[in-house]
Amino acid sequence: MRVAMYYSNRDVRTEERPVPEIGPGEALLRVEASGICGSDVMEWYRRDKVPLVLGHEVAGVVERAGDGVVVYAPGDRVTVAHHVPCNTCRYCLKGDYTVCDTLRKTNIDPGGFAEYARIPAINVDRGLFRLPDHVTFEEATFVEPVACVLRGQRRAGLQPGYNVLVLGTGIAGLLHVHLARALGAGRIMATDVLEHRLEAACRFGANQAVDARDDVPARFRELNDGRLADVVTVCTGAQSALRQALDSVERGGTVLFFAPTDEGVPIPKSLNEIFWRTDVTLATSYAGSPADYATALELIGAGSLRVAEMVTHRLGLGEAQAGFHMVVNPGEQRSIKVVLEPQR
């Protein structure tokens, strides 16, 4: 089978490797669509692990089911969770599924940027989700990122009527804007340095979209009757955005750090500066639980989130290098979401 083997952002090769063998309780997935995530292009995070096959926003068809698999059968259209929790450790029992050691160690084999992938038994047990007939494979690739956004907004304590600032409107930022609007947020402002992303933010629910190089706290006060944001979500690793976030949060509000930075980047404020803002909460969020996946699929299936409209480029597996280039350089071809179709 063909895979897109990642060596660096500038070196993604189409290579051949055997179709994975499956064992009891496992399934073989024919991958129909796999989204390129912003985390896939974090070279510093991958440099000691390459070469490898990436891809965790995956949808396809069950090709074969191993002995003991009774819930799923060949021909079933599904999306799959790349990482799944154990459901029994102290973290899972507290509801903190995404810090479970098992979740950090589980994955599909070899990854979603391949014609076929082996779904381990634990993923089959708690990480496969059957697609409604009307949900396309392309839409299903959004289940994973929407699940992550759901958890993030829950961590941030987002409530109906809250006023929200989203810094960075790549795909994660757009999903935060779109979901916040769907869940009843009040005023929403988004920032970016790319005009096409700002335009998209308004299409998906932002009341206002401004250039990230502007005085963002001042612009938010203008939008929000002199008040700052109840929730600020940072969806970019730019260091300037970290300071903007801490300067833009209202007393009693929350800053959600939803994107990693480059290596070694500190919080650009002293603890005292944050402390005297009065009850500001700093939160981070990583991944989503199986329950978040199920909720994400419900929202997409109900049409509450227009995720298909976010896809700007659809490429074959042999065009993976071009796809990675678009994600790294989104301004060149006005890319927002790039989806690979391995069977093309």
Question: 12 and 140 share a domain?
Answer: yes
Give the CA angle between residues 211, 212, 217 to the nearest 5°. 105
Q: What DSSP designation does 305 have?
A: S
Question: 38 and 109 share a domain?
Answer: yes
Q: Residue 140: inside a domain, yes or no?
A: yes
Question: 140 and 180 share a domain?
Answer: no
Helix (H) or strand (E) holding 144, with range, is helix 143-155
Q: Residue 101: inside a domain, yes or no?
A: yes
Q: Residue 53: inside a domain, yes or no?
A: yes
Q: Residue 151: inside a domain, yes or no?
A: no
Q: Residue 152: inside a domain, yes or no?
A: no
Question: 13 and 133 share a domain?
Answer: yes
Question: 182 and 237 share a domain?
Answer: yes
C-alpha–C-alpha distance, residues 36 and 21, integer Å = 25
At residue 272, the pLDDT reads 85
Q: The domain spanning residue 174 has which CATH number?
A: 3.40.50.720
Question: 305 and 269 share a domain?
Answer: no
Quick one: which of 290, 303, 152 has its CA closest to 232? 152
Let me know if 317 is exposed, middle or buried by CB neighbors in 10 A (0-12, 13-18, 19+): buried
At residue 277, the pLDDT reads 75
At residue 199, the pLDDT reads 98
Question: 304 and 274 share a domain?
Answer: no
At residue 9, the pLDDT reads 96
Which of 284, 306, 332 corresponds to the end of one domain? 284
Quick one: which of 275, 273, 280 has its CA closest to 250? 280
At residue 262, the pLDDT reads 84
The H helix count followed by the E strand count for the chain is: 13, 16
Question: 188 and 298 share a domain?
Answer: no
Q: Residue 312: inside a domain, yes or no?
A: yes
Which position has the token pair 């799923």? 72
Which of 264, 284, 304 corresponds to the end of one domain? 284
How many domains would you assign to the chain? 2
**Is the CB of residue 79 less than 8 Å from the CB of residue 141?**
yes
pLDDT averages per 10-residue partition of the chain, 344 residues: 97 98 98 96 90 98 98 98 97 96 96 98 98 98 98 97 98 98 98 98 98 97 97 95 96 95 84 83 95 98 98 98 98 97 97
CB atoms within 10 A of CB 206: 28
Question: 12 and 122 share a domain?
Answer: yes
Q: The domain spanning residue 49 has which CATH number?
A: 3.90.180.10
Which of 284, 301, 323 corresponds to the end of one domain? 284
> What range defines the domain where residue 187 resides?
157-284
C-alpha–C-alpha distance, residues 157 and 2, integer Å = 43
Question: 213 and 294 share a domain?
Answer: no
